[in-house]
C-alpha cells in the first residue's frame, strides 16, 4: 500500500503541512515513521480522512488557487468495478469527484483506494452561480 509524506498528504487535502501535523498530533490522523524518521500516512487512512475533511462545512485553511482550473489532484477513495464499466471517486481537497469509465481503463491505470490521482474535467457547459 502506498504511503504519503506529510507534505504530499497536505497538498492532496488542500491544507498546509503545519495544519496536517497539528491534526496528526491531535490524534485526528494516524502516522508512522519510516526508517529515515519521516512521518508517513497510510494511503487507505488518508483516503478515509480526506472524505471526513471534504464533508466538513468549512476548511481550516483557504483553498489554493491555480490557473489549471480543470485539474483536480487528489486521492482515490472508492473504486467500484462492473463487468464493463467502473466508477472511481476522488477526493480533491473539499471536492468529491466521481468518474464513470471503462473497467479496462481502471485496470490499465492500476487505480485502487489510497492512490494519488488527478481528475481532469472538460465540459461544454459550465454554470456559474453567484454566492
Residue where the block lists cell 479496462: 104
pLDDT tens for 95-116 read 899 999 999 999 999 999 999 9
> Between 17-25 and 6-13, two packed helices, what is the crossing angle to 10 degrees?
110
pLDDT tens for 66-83 read 444 678 889 999 999 999
Alpha-helical regions (H) of 1-119: 6-13, 17-25, 43-55, 103-109
Q: Is the pLDDT of residue 36 over 50?
A: yes
Choose between 60 and 17: higher pLDDT.
Answer: 17
Amino acid at each position: 500500500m502506498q504511503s504519503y509524506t506529510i507534505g504530499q498528504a497536505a497538498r492532496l487535502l488542500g491544507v498546509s503541512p503545519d495544519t496536517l501535523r497539528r491534526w496528526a498530533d491531535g490524534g485526528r490522523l494516524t502516522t508512522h515513521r519510516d526508517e529515515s524518521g519521516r512521518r508517513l500516512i497510510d494511503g487507505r487512512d488518508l483516503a478515509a480522512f480526506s472524505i471526513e475533511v471534504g464533508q466538513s462545512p468549512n476548511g481550516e485553511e483557504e483553498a489554493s488557487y491555480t490557473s489549471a482550473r480543470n485539474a483536480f489532484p487528489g486521492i482515490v477513495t472508492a473504486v467500484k468495478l462492473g463487468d464493463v464499466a467502473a466508477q472511481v471517486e476522488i477526493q480533491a481537497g473539499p471536492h468529491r469527484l466521481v468518474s464513470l469509465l471503462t473497467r479496462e481503463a481502471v485496470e490499465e491505470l492500476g487505480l485502487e483506494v489510497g492512490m494519488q490521482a488527478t481528475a481532469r474535467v472538460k465540459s461544454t457547459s459550465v454554470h456559474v452561480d453567484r454566492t
